[in-house]
């Protein structure tokens, strides 16, 4: 069983947004990323309003590859 962890810094999605339209596009991107992470089996374990901590465990090679592609790192 491999354990994965990601600290998602939501602010990073909005650093370059200069208009409302750009902010909406970034918000949609964040929502798509979160949905993909949750579909891969990740769970939100903490949310301080700025950072979202997600964790997942898997033994399935396909799921493990998906988590890595979503920026998850192995939690030692």
Give the pairing type, strands 2-9 and 51-58. antiparallel
CA distances from 49 to 29, 61, 67 (A): 18, 32, 23
31 confidence band (pLDDT: 50, 70, 90): very high
14 pLDDT higher than 90? no
Among 8, 75, 76, 1, residue whose Cα is nearest residue 38: 8
* Tens-digit pLDDT profile for residues 47-67: 998 899 999 999 999 999 999
CA end-to-end span of the chain: 12
What are the two backbone dihedrals, phi and then psi, of residue 42, each rounded to the nearest 5 degrees?
Answer: -75, 150
């Amino acid at each position: 069983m491999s354990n994965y962890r990601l600290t998602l810094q939501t602010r990073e999605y909005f650093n370059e947004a200069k208009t409302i339209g750009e902010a909406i596009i970034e918000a949609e991107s964040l929502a798509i990323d979160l949905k993909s992470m949750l579909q891969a089996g990740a769970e939100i374990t903490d949310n301080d309003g700025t950072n979202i901590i997600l964790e997942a465990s898997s033994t399935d090679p396909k799921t493990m590859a998906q988590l890595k592609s979503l920026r998850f790192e192995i939690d030692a």
